[in-house]
Amino acid sequence: MVTFKIDGKTATAAENTTVLEAALELGIKIPTLCNLKDINNIGACRMCLVEDAKTGRLQASCALPVAEGMEILTASPKVISARRAVLELILSDHDRSCLTCKRNQSCELQALSNELGITEIAFEGERPARTVDELSPSIVRDNNKCILCRRCVAACAKTQGVFAIGMQNRGFKTEVGSPFGKSLADVACINCGQCIAACPTGALTEKDSTAEVWAALNDPEKFVIFQPAPAIRVALGEEFGMPIGTRSTGKMVAAMRRLGADKVFDVDFAADLTIMEEGTELLQRLNNGGALPMITSCSPGWVKFCEHFYPDFIPNLSTCKSPNQMQGAITKTYYAQKNGLDPKNIFVVSVMPCTAKKFEIIRPEMGREGYRDVDANLTTRELARMIRQASIDYVNLPDEEFDDMLGESTGAAVIFGVTGGVMEAALRTVADILTGEDLKNVEYTAVRGTEGIKEATVNVAGKELKLAIAHGTANAAALLDKIRAGEAEYHFIEVMGCPGGCVTGGGQPIVDARTRYEVDVKAARAKATYDEDESKVLRKSHLNPSIKKLYEEFLGEPCGHLSHELLHTTYVDRSNK
CA dist 551 and 351 (Å) reads: 26
CA dist 402 and 229 (Å) reads: 12
484: helix, coil or strand? helix
Catalytic residue among 152, 156, 502, 559: 502
Does 51 participate in catalysis according to the annotation?
no
CA dist 223 and 345 (Å) reads: 6
CA dist 398 and 169 (Å) reads: 54
Does 494 participate in catalysis according to the annotation?
no
Catalytic residue among 113, 318, 350, 541: 318
Does 424 participate in catalysis according to the annotation?
no
Maximum distance among all Cα pairs of the chain, rounded to whole angstroms: 80
Residue (of 52, 60, 15) closest to 34 by Cα position: 60
CA dist 377 and 212 (Å) reads: 10
CA dist 358 and 367 (Å) reads: 14
103 in Cβ contact with 202 (< 8 Å): yes
CA dist 295 and 278 (Å) reads: 10
Question: How many alpha carbons lie under 13 Å from residue 315 in its C-beta half-sphere?
Answer: 6
* Neighbouring residues of 438: CB distance < 8 A, sequence distance ≥ 6: 432, 543
CA dist 50 and 73 (Å) reads: 6
- Pairing mode, strands 376-379 and 346-352: parallel
CA dist 305 and 316 (Å) reads: 14
CA dist 317 and 107 (Å) reads: 38
Strand partners for 460:
463
Catalytic residue among 88, 365, 443, 455: 365
**407: phi then psi, degrees, rounded to nearest 5:** -115, -5
245 in Cβ contact with 207 (< 8 Å): no
Residue (of 383, 328, 320) closest to 354 by Cα position: 383
CA dist 77 and 273 (Å) reads: 62
Catalytic residue among 206, 238, 278, 382: 278
Say how many C-beta atoms besides its own lie within 10 A of residue 129's C-beta: 8
Amino acid at 210: T
Q: How far is CA 177 from CA 128, 131, 152, 350, 474, in A?
A: 16, 8, 11, 30, 20
374: helix, coil or strand? coil
- Give the number of residues written for the chain: 577
Q: How far is CA 524 from CA 17, 167, 245, 252, 423, in A?
A: 25, 34, 5, 19, 20
56: helix, coil or strand? coil
Catalytic residue among 21, 206, 281, 307: 281
Does 502 participate in catalysis according to the annotation?
yes
For 391, counting Cβ atoms within 10 Å of its Cβ (0-12 exposed, 13-18 middle, 19+ buried), the class is exposed
CA dist 349 and 370 (Å) reads: 17
**465: phi then psi, degrees, rounded to nearest 5:** -100, 120
CA dist 554 and 319 (Å) reads: 20
Catalytic residue among 298, 306, 354, 498: 298
Catalytic residue among 145, 332, 357, 358: 357
Does 357 participate in catalysis according to the annotation?
yes
Catalytic residue among 51, 206, 360, 382: 360
Does 158 participate in catalysis according to the annotation?
no
Catalytic residue positions, numbered = 278, 281, 298, 318, 357, 360, 365, 502
